[in-house]
């Protein structure tokens, strides 16, 4: 869980340096641009995050006892958001993910950065991360 907390603190520190939401949007878009390429074979319905206006894929993989996420979206701000969420939880065990109860929406101020529809999508991404972790427990 220490790794998750460390990543949350790091992102919170970065996001707090920006003067306004436009700069935070640019940061999310930059994360999206730097994201790992997403394998086409994972663009499947069962990996789609439900409740997002954009198409969002979140693919869990268990490697050496750690959960890793592959992700993508057809919208840059959403892709940046899912990339941030994926990075925070990747590299942790399923139990560490399940035990972490920090509120990313509040701590990273995503509720203020994202529009209502994107906020709902982000909640669904976070819920999907927890659901995946339950499968690997």
Tally Cβ neighbours within 10 Å of residue 121: 24
Q: Which of 8, 15, 52, 126 is catalytic?
A: 52
Please confirm, yes or no, whether 71 is among the known catalytic residues: no
Instruction: Output the CA–CA distances (angstroms, integers) from residue 48 to 18, 55, 70, in the order listed.
Output: 31, 7, 12
Cβ contact 94:67 at 8 Å: yes
Q: How far apart are CA 52 and CA 61, in angstroms?
A: 22
Q: How far apart are CA 135 and CA 2, in angstroms?
A: 21
Q: How far apart are CA 120 and CA 70, in angstroms?
A: 20
- Catalytic residue positions, numbered: 52
């Amino acid at each position: 869980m220490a790794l998750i907390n460390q990543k949350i603190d790091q992102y919170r520190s970065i996001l707090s340096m920006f003067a306004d939401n436009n700069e935070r949007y640019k940061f999310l878009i930059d994360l999206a641009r730097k994201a790992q390429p997403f394998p086409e074979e994972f663009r499947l319905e069962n990996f789609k995050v439900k409740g997002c206006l954009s198409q969002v894929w979140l693919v869990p993989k268990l490697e050496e006892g750690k959960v890793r996420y592959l992700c993508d979206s057809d919208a840059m701000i959403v892709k940046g958001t899912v990339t941030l969420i994926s990075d925070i939880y990747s590299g942790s065990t399923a139990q560490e993910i399940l035990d972490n109860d920090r509120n990313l929406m509040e701590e990273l101020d995503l509720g203020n950065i994202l529009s209502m529809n994107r906020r709902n999508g982000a909640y669904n991404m976070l819920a999907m991360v927890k659901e995946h972790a339950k499968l690997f427990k």
